[in-house]
């Protein structure tokens, strides 16, 4: 599965559990923009919710630490829940070309099998 996982975590994990129950091997490629992970913003800027189009203006200096902690918790939650279900989890930056991401994954997997 390739996804940003921005939906209700319980619902996503329930759906994945269904495939685990059916004995499917599952790999979750969690797509995230590098800026989502590092929050590199320095000046006051506006963010727009892609679904609701709500706009919010923030000073990154005041929210960076809390934001990064929340994102880290979000990623860690999925990593742990996938691991607990024997689902392979791969955090995947969006600035990596799709073919290269897949090639790197398959090469790492092949090295582990040997």
pLDDT in tens, 27-76: 999 999 999 999 999 999 999 988 899 999 999 999 999 999 999 999 99
Query: In DSSP terms, which residues pair with 37 in a beta bridge?
Result: none
Distance CA 97, CA 68 (A): 24
- The reply to whether 53 falls in a domain is no
What would the mean pLDDT of 9-30 be, rounded to a whole number? 94
The kind and range of the H/E element at 70 are helix 60-84
Assigned token pair, 90: 């791969």
pLDDT of residue 51: 84
- The reply to whether 80 falls in a domain is yes
- The reply to whether 54 falls in a domain is no
Assigned token pair, 65: 């630490």
- The reply to whether 19 falls in a domain is yes
- The reply to whether 104 falls in a domain is yes
Assigned token pair, 80: 């742990």
Q: How confident is the model at residue 111 (pLDDT cuts 50, 70, 90)?
A: confident
Task: With a cut of 80, say whether residue 114 has pLDDT above it.
Answer: no
Residue of higher predicted confidence among 100 and 109? 100
- The reply to whether 91 falls in a domain is yes
Assigned token pair, 11: 């619902």
Domain that holds residue 94: 2-37+72-113
Considering its fold, how many domains does the chain have in total? 1
Task: With a cut of 90, say whether residue 112 has pLDDT above it.
Answer: no
Residue where the block lists tokens 């809390």: 66
Region at 6 (left for phi over 0; alpha for psi -120 to 50; beta for the rest): beta
- The reply to whether 109 falls in a domain is yes
């Amino acid at each position: 599965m390739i996804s940003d996982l921005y939906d209700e975590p319980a619902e996503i994990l329930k759906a994945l559990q269904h495939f685990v129950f059916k004995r499917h091997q599952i790999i979750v490629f969690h797509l995230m923009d590098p800026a989502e992970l590092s929050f590199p913003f320095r000046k006051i800027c506006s963010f727009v919710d892609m679904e609701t189009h709500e706009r919010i203006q923030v000073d990154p200096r005041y929210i960076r630490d809390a934001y990064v902690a929340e994102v880290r918790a979000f990623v860690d939650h999925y990593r742990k829940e996938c691991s607990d279900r024997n689902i392979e989890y791969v955090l995947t930056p969006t600035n990596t070309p799709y073919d290269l991401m897949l090639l790197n994954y398959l090469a790492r997997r092949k090295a582990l099998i040997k």
